[in-house]
Amino acid sequence: MDLFVTLGINGLATGMLIFLLASGLTLIFGLMDVLNFAHGGLFIWGAYSGVWFYHLTDSFTVAIVTAIATGLVLGLIMEKVIVKPVYGNHIQQILITLGFMLVLQEVIKVVFGPHQIAVSPPAFLDGSFVVGDVVFIKYRLFIILLGLFVFIATSYLFSKTRIGLVVRAGVIDKEMVQSLGINIKLVFTAVFMLGSALAALSGVLHAPYSGVLYAEMGLEFSILAFIVVIIGGMGSFRGSLFAALLVGLTQAFMAYYVPALSLATNMLLMTAVLIFRPQGLFTAKA
Amino acid sequence: MNIRNVDKSTWIYLLIAGLLCVVPFFVTGRSMQFLLIQIFVFAIFAMSYDLLLGYTGIISFGHVMFFGIGAYSTAIVLDRFEATLGAVLLSVVIALVIAGVVSLIVGVLTLRLKSHFYAMLTLALAGLFLVAAEKWTPLTGGNDGFTFRLPPFLRDSLTMYFISLAALVLLFFGLRRLTYSPFGRVLMAIRENEKRTASLGFNVVYYKVMASVVSGLVASIAGVLYILSLRFVDTSVFATEVTIDVLLMTIIGGVGTLIGPIIGAGLVEFAHHWLSGLSDVHWIFERWIILYGTIYILVVIFFPLGIVGTIRAKFFNRPVKGITQKQTEEKPESA
């Protein structure tokens, strides 16, 4: 039983990290119809810049703030320079963002060095406490809570506030919203920046969780984010959360019970979803 | 066939092929010959990719799996059996059968959906093949890979050169014939406007699946040739990086043309060769992938037709359409 709970918490924490990553992508894809393969590049830049400041100042809060700032800036640059010329053309989006992904990944090696970087959790989140027979690792609980908070906050932002209303209206009819006196380009840039910031946030949170950072993580996580978004259904927040938790939990249990297959877990999950329910588990409302 | 009816460009291509036959007698360095063989192999691979991307408008992220299937089939067969011509032919048949079945299954499953599903499922399957190659150690040697013996007549690199060149020329003319045929025209119609093609009565899914099968078969032949020239196999033949390379070759050379990917393969392979050699000169060349990524971005923004496409549009007044135009029909209907 306690083993089951431990594995469950591991899975939930991994899933929450994946959700943070995928929620950014689902925003960019679901709302703006941009296939962004550089999403993992934003993830890795968030992680590296955050960790650099974390090691410099020894404050994890500073690390998180830095990561979010990095995500916002990179998101702004990316939307203005890379994505703008290719709105509306999926194949060109894939090509150009893939190119940007490679650049981001290699520039990491130039700026921060090509070697792996070891990261440990901050002091106040290090360690664990024991309830009965079950060990709760503090950092994992912290991630689960933070992930839930982000889910609730973004859901609230997009379904209850005026900003969310504008964005959703803009997705349905761009010209109409524009003619009502709203600068829809600015709104979409902001959405892109928010998605990028979420990717960067998930990057810096992932660093102490996995304990190690390396530049090639970028492409791996780009692919992982896409897998989750496809399983969950493009553009659906709830779908992304559900799919991310599913992927996290499956990984945790597979790694323990069927280690031989654990590497293939994500691919198998996605293949199954594509075969039986190609539109994803949840479908977004227009 | 009346010799006068042969297209002028055919003569030019045959002339180039003839010139390439003479090249190895002047270029004697082994590494240079090997580089040329690599170019031929990747040119075949890139052509197969362009049949999907440039002619049919399907993007694949796992095209490397067919390449890897060809590579591993040949390596394993030559490792297990006596290294003879028969074994090589057997391995080609096995590679073609596996690649055909896999591409058929992937195509049937995803080509009825929107384009990116094919990209994702091929990516997933290529990932599965990579994991299988890593884990199925008794058969594949895992991460370390294994070397194998070639039949005596293939050991000479000059023979390998001519075999690769012959395969390239034959496949080039074969694929050219295919793209000029009614079948190929339907593929291009699908690329231009899928809904309209369907409404004209063509079974779009059938044509797309067939394109994916032909493309998979050709890619597996490239894999066979690659591994024969390398005499060593490891899991890198399933790496996503190879797909990214071949994507770059195709878009630099020119999508929607067959000669474009060949030129692209030549450029990218030469660039690989030189840039990795330059890493002793300055540290920035160790990070030559930056250059790679930058070229990607610049090509997509400023040069979307590629080399061949741009030349055609500029000098022959033949605008190449295709993946460069905006897709308008995918916009969601407003309620």
B291 to chain A, minimum CA–CA distance in Å?
8
CB distance B212 to B220 below 8 Å: no
Of A75, A43, A67, the residue nearest A189 (C-alpha) = A75
Q: Which residues of A touch B244 (CB under 8 A)?
A: 98, 102
CB distance A119 to A213 below 8 Å: yes
Of the pLDDT bands very low, low, confident and very high (cuts 50, 70, 90), residue A204 is very high
Phi and psi torsions of B147, nearest 5°: -100, 160
Would you state the pLDDT for residue B282? Answer: 67
- Cα-based angle B203, B125, B133 (whole degrees, multiple of 5): 140
Mutation pick from A94, A102, A110 vs chain B, by most beta carbons of B within 10 Å, is A102
Six-digit token string for B13? 């291509």
Q: Which residues of B touch A109 (CB under 8 A)?
A: 287
Q: Is the pLDDT at B322 greater than 70, yes or no?
A: no
Pairing verdict, β B146-147 and A212-213:
unpaired
Q: Which helix (H) or strand (E) holds A117?
A: strand A117-118
Nearest CA in chain A to B58: A91
B162 to chain A, minimum CA–CA distance in Å?
34
CB distance B165 to B17 below 8 Å: yes
DSSP one-letter code for B232: E
Q: Is the pLDDT at B285 greater than 60, yes or no?
A: yes
CB distance B250 to B260 below 8 Å: yes
A90 touches chain B (CB under 8 A): yes
Contact A274 B110 (CB under 8 A): yes
Q: Is the pLDDT at B142 greater than 80, yes or no?
A: no
Mutation pick from B113, B116, B143 vs chain A, by most beta carbons of A within 10 Å, is B116
Contact A89 B294 (CB under 8 A): no
Of A33, A81, A91, the residue nearest B304 (C-alpha) = A91
Contact A102 B134 (CB under 8 A): no
CB distance B244 to B95 below 8 Å: no
Percentage with pLDDT > 70 across chain B: 89
Q: Which residues of A touch B57 (CB under 8 A)?
A: 91
Average pLDDT over residues A185-211: 90
Give residues with Cβ within 8 angstroms of B103, minimum separation 6.
Answer: B66, B212, B213, B215, B216, B217
Average pLDDT over residues B23-40: 80
Six-digit token string for A107? 């520039």
Of B305, B216, B220, the residue nearest B257 (C-alpha) = B305
Contact B287 A110 (CB under 8 A): yes
Would you state the pLDDT for residue B330? Answer: 42
Average pLDDT over residues B300-304: 77
B322 to chain A, minimum CA–CA distance in Å?
10
Phi and psi torsions of A136, nearest 5°: -105, 120
- The residue written with tokens 């370390």 in the block is B144
Six-digit token string for B17? 């092929």
Would you state the pLDDT for residue B214? Answer: 93
B92 to chain A, minimum CA–CA distance in Å?
28
Give how far Cα A211 sits from Cα of A51, A204, A255, B181, Å: 11, 11, 18, 57
Contact B332 A286 (CB under 8 A): yes
CB distance B59 to B52 below 8 Å: yes
Would you state the pLDDT for residue B129? Answer: 86
CB distance B36 to B24 below 8 Å: yes
Give how far Cα B62 sits from Cα of A175, B128, B238, B248, B273, Å: 38, 10, 9, 14, 24
**Which of A116-125, A248-257, A258-267, B112-121 is predicted most confidently?**
A248-257
Would you state the pLDDT for residue A269? Answer: 82
- The residue written with tokens 């500029």 in the block is B314
* DSSP codes joined into one string, A62-100: HHHHHHHHHHHHHHHHIIIIIIGGGTT-HHHHHHHHHHH
Q: Is the pLDDT at B2 greater than 70, yes or no?
A: no
pLDDT tens column, A153-172:
988 988 888 888 888 888 88
* CA dist., res. A185 & res. A191, Å (int): 10
* CA dist., res. A242 & res. A236, Å (int): 10
Amino acid (one-letter) located at B137: T
Contact B290 A264 (CB under 8 A): no
Reported ipTM: the value is: 0.72
CB distance B75 to B233 below 8 Å: yes
A217 to chain B, minimum CA–CA distance in Å?
14
Would you state the pLDDT for residue B321? Answer: 55
Of B327, B57, B324, the residue nearest B191 (C-alpha) = B57
Contact A274 B117 (CB under 8 A): yes
Nearest CA in chain A to B126: A267
* CA dist., res. A155 & res. B8, Å (int): 63
Would you state the pLDDT for residue B42? Answer: 92
Q: Chain-wide mean pLDDT for chain A? A: 85
Percentage with pLDDT > 70 across chain A: 98
* CA dist., res. A272 & res. B4, Å (int): 55
Q: Is the pLDDT at B262 greater than 80, yes or no?
A: yes
Of the pLDDT bands very low, low, confident and very high (cuts 50, 70, 90), residue A283 is low
Would you state the pLDDT for residue B99? Answer: 92
A98 touches chain B (CB under 8 A): yes
Q: Which stretch of A23-27, A116-120, B134-138, B274-278 has the lowest confidence by average pLDDT?
A: B274-278
pLDDT tens column, A99-108:
888 888 888 8
CB atoms within 10 A of CB B155: 12
Give residues with Cβ within 8 angstroms of A20, minimum separation 6.
Answer: A147, A150, A198, A199, A201, A202, A205
A92 to chain B, minimum CA–CA distance in Å?
7
CB atoms within 10 A of CB B138: 6
Would you state the pLDDT for residue B317? Answer: 65
Of the pLDDT bands very low, low, confident and very high (cuts 50, 70, 90), residue A49 is very high
Q: Is the pLDDT at A205 greater than 70, yes or no?
A: yes
Contact A267 B109 (CB under 8 A): no
Q: What is the CA radius of gyration of chain B?
A: 20
Higher pLDDT, A129 or A190: A190
Q: Which stretch of A58-67, A147-156, B42-51, B234-243 has the lowest confidence by average pLDDT?
A: B234-243
* CA dist., res. B307 & res. B320, Å (int): 12
Contact B334 A274 (CB under 8 A): no
Q: Which residues of A touch B328 (CB under 8 A)?
A: 88
pLDDT tens column, A212-229:
888 888 877 877 888 888
CB atoms within 10 A of CB A131: 9
Q: Is the pLDDT at A286 greater than 50, yes or no?
A: no
Q: Chain-wide mean pLDDT for chain B? A: 81
B123 to chain A, minimum CA–CA distance in Å?
9
Of A36, A18, A49, A86, the residue nearest A191 (C-alpha) = A36
A223 touches chain B (CB under 8 A): yes
Would you state the pLDDT for residue A203? Answer: 92
Q: Is the pLDDT at B334 greater than 60, yes or no?
A: no
Average pLDDT over residues A168-182: 86
pLDDT tens column, B67-82:
999 999 888 888 888 7
Higher pLDDT, A35 or B48: B48
* DSSP codes joined into one string, B43-60: HHHHHHHHIIIIII----
Of the pLDDT bands very low, low, confident and very high (cuts 50, 70, 90), residue B281 is low
Higher pLDDT, A267 or A187: A187
* CA dist., res. B210 & res. B225, Å (int): 23
Q: Which residues of A touch B292 (CB under 8 A)?
A: 99, 102
Q: 3-state DSSP call for residue B112?
A: coil
Q: Which residues of B touch A223 (CB under 8 A)?
A: 123, 127, 240
CB distance A266 to A224 below 8 Å: yes
- The residue written with tokens 């009825």 in the block is B112
Amino acid (one-letter) located at A273: V
**CB-defined contacts A:B, below 8 A:** 125
The runs of H, that is alpha helices, within chain A are 2-26, 32, 39-57, 60-77, 90-112, 138-160, 162-172, 174-179, 184-210, 217-232, 237-257, 265-276
Residues facing residue A212 across a β-bridge: A118
Would you state the pLDDT for residue B319? Answer: 57
Would you state the pLDDT for residue A69? Answer: 94
CB burial readout A4-16, b (16+ within 10 A) else e:
eebbebbbbbbbb
Nearest CA in chain B to A90: B327
Nearest CA in chain A to B298: A96
Nearest CA in chain A to B252: A95
- Cα-based angle B155, B161, B162 (whole degrees, multiple of 5): 105
A274 touches chain B (CB under 8 A): yes
Average pLDDT over residues B195-215: 90
Would you state the pLDDT for residue B279? Answer: 67
Helices and strands (DSSP H and E) totals, chain B? 14, 2
Of B43, B66, B170, the residue nearest B125 (C-alpha) = B66
* CA dist., res. B70 & res. B221, Å (int): 6
Of the pLDDT bands very low, low, confident and very high (cuts 50, 70, 90), residue A91 is confident
Residues 120-179 of A with CB under 8 A from B: 172-173
CB distance B85 to B49 below 8 Å: no
Average pLDDT over residues B9-37: 80
Q: Which helix (H) or strand (E) holds A128?
A: strand A128-131
Would you state the pLDDT for residue B333? Answer: 35
